Amino acid sequence: MDVSQVLVFVILILNSSVLVCHGGKTSRFSRRNDISVDMPLDSDVFRIPPGYNAPQQVHITQGNHDGNGVIISWTTPDEPGSNEVLYWAEGSKEKQSAEGIVLTYSYFNYTSGYIHHCTITDLEFDTNYYYEVGLGNTTRQFWFSTPPRPGPDVPYTFGLIGDLGQTYDSNRTLTHYQLNPAKGNTVLFVGDLSYADDYPFHDNNRWDTWGRFTERSVAYQPWIWTAGNHEIDFAPDLGESIPFKPYVHRYPTPFEASESTTPFWYSIKRASTYIIVMASYSAFGKYTPQYKWFINELPKVNRTETPWLIVLMHSPLYNSYVKHYMEGETMRVMYESYFVEYKVDVIFAGHVHAYERSERISNIAYNITNSKCTPTSNQSAPIYITIGDGGNQEGLATEMTEPQPSYSAFREASFGHGIFDIKNRTHAYFSWHRNQDGYAVEADSVWLRNTYWDVEDKSFIASM
């Protein structure tokens, strides 16, 4: 086979895996089926730690605004036990202690274990820490690393996971992320955690199993939480009329550090990023608390300190799948002009159980009478990435709108995770990894140039 024949063969292979259409690319990759099966309750990933009242469901998230704080959470099943966390820097012989709080809640016919939250602040930046929770023979030890001090050219790597659930596919997603050689330092989680509300009577035992399942990652690196629709748990027919009750009791956020009034919307700084978390399922119209907080928050972002501005939400504003089509339209109309004005770099969302990446586009010219209601290229606008492909039991969203819209750069209905790797103030690299591939394989990727710092404001496609 000569060189020209080899080239033709390679082109045919590429064309068989990617369909080029009116918009960007629609992948033709086909998995065996789009149904996800729950792992059985006796799976090792759900195993209860040995010993009486041993801490379980250990997880951490950022504990203050700048990044040198952590909230450590865990559950004891039998009695409150100790609220104390012992912690120390790697190489240090001196252990410090911090006291947390303990709480419980009831939901229909379920009563939780004793849920502990302990906030530790004033840690050293860019430092490895060990911590212990529990008492006596059931003490458990974990570790984490604080991020570098915020600064414009600080490299940092985030993982992206959404709509995870607790199926075999969920397990593949988490394993795939953990073994990815890119080595994410922190997970940006875009909502829909346990899917407990999909089980009969909103079975809150499924919050416990999910907490044990994810502990192998979230006990060792922070997951930054976004509330999704499966966290609402509003069930007045069961006598449960307080939205988000299990989620709020179990997964705290450092919302007060950014002067938010609720854990559902807040901001943090982490290395060279400023992250704004928005709430798709809390009131966001004009004059609402979320709206007032958001418009006051954007001017606070100092792009000379944290050049990368990221927004997390659950429901995507741009979505070319049939499932959940245009559900984010109200929020898009309300907030898109702000995203463009303040040059948000990327918006990550979930909700749609598939993957999609947009071009840099906006649809903000419409004024009722001018008929300008089509998304157009705008190099001050964010890239929109939907990554609700964690693997939950509801399965994949396989049906797509046709033809593919011009704003859609790449889409594929497969389970996987993302990596957002910040190199410096001007460049970052995003890659998407489907579960069926090797750990280092990138099914889609793109170089991003920072919209604030780069004069050309272009994004470059790195691979198909």
Mean pLDDT over residues 197-217, rounded? 98
Proportion of the chain above pLDDT 90, given as a percent:
88
Nearest to 163 by CA among 443, 351, 27, 326: 351
Q: Is 50 exceeded by the pLDDT of residue 3?
A: no
**Beta-bridge partner residues of 427:** 449
Mean pLDDT over residues 82-100, rounded? 97
Residue-wise pLDDT for 367-390, tens only, equals 888 888 899 999 999 999 999 999
Mean of pLDDT over the chain: 92
Nearest to 197 by CA among 227, 231, 167, 226: 231
Comparing 34 with 104, the larger pLDDT belongs to 104
Contact 246, 195 (CB under 8 A): no
**Beta-bridge partner residues of 87:** 96, 131
Residues 6+ positions from 129 with CB-CB distance below 8 Å? 87, 88, 89, 90, 123, 143, 144, 145, 146
Q: Which residues are catalytic?
A: 324
Residue 15 banded pLDDT, cuts 50, 70, 90: very low
Residue-wise pLDDT for 19-53, tens only, equals 444 568 888 776 656 678 999 999 999 999 999 99
Q: Taking the CA of residue 194 as centre, how many other CA atoms within 13 Å lie in the half-sphere pointing to its CB? A: 27
d(CA 274, CA 282): 22
Mean pLDDT over residues 390-406, rounded? 94
> At 118, which helix (H) or strand (E)?
strand 114-120
Q: Is 60 exceeded by the pLDDT of residue 2?
A: no
pLDDT at 449: 97
Backbone phi, psi, residue 267, to 5°: -135, 155
Residue-wise pLDDT for 319-350, tens only, equals 999 999 999 999 999 999 999 999 999 999 99
Mean pLDDT over residues 406-431, rounded? 97
pLDDT at 162: 98
Q: Is 60 exceeded by the pLDDT of residue 6?
A: no
Q: What stretches of 28-108 adopt beta strand conformation (E)?
A: 56-62, 70-76, 84-89, 96-99, 101-103, 106-107
> Exposure of 139 by Cβ count < 10 A (0-12 exposed, 13-18 middle, 19+ buried)?
middle
pLDDT at 5: 47
pLDDT at 105: 98
Q: Is 60 exceeded by the pLDDT of residue 208?
A: yes
pLDDT at 336: 98
Residue 358 banded pLDDT, cuts 50, 70, 90: very high
**Beta-bridge partner residues of 312:** 277, 348
d(CA 154, CA 147): 10
Residue 461 banded pLDDT, cuts 50, 70, 90: very low
d(CA 400, CA 388): 15
Residues 6+ positions from 313 with CB-CB distance below 8 Å? 190, 191, 226, 277, 278, 279, 280, 328, 331, 347, 348, 349
Residue-wise pLDDT for 127-170, tens only, equals 999 999 999 999 999 999 999 999 999 999 999 999 999 999 99
- The residue type at 156: Y
Residues 6+ positions from 234 with CB-CB distance below 8 Å? 240, 241, 242, 243
* Local structure of 140: helix, strand or coil: strand
* Local structure of 455: helix, strand or coil: coil
Q: Long-range contacts made by residues 131-136, C-beta under 8 angstroms, separation at least 24? A: 131/72, 131/85, 131/86, 131/87, 132/85, 132/86, 132/87, 133/55, 133/58, 133/72, 133/74, 133/82, 133/85, 134/53, 134/54, 134/55, 134/74, 134/76, 134/81, 134/82, 135/53, 135/81, 135/82
d(CA 129, CA 85): 12
Cα-Cα end-to-end distance for the chain: 26
What is the model's pTM?
A: 0.93
pLDDT at 32: 59
Q: Is 70 exceeded by the pLDDT of residue 274?
A: yes
Proportion of the chain above pLDDT 70, given as a percent:
92
Contact 244, 262 (CB under 8 A): no
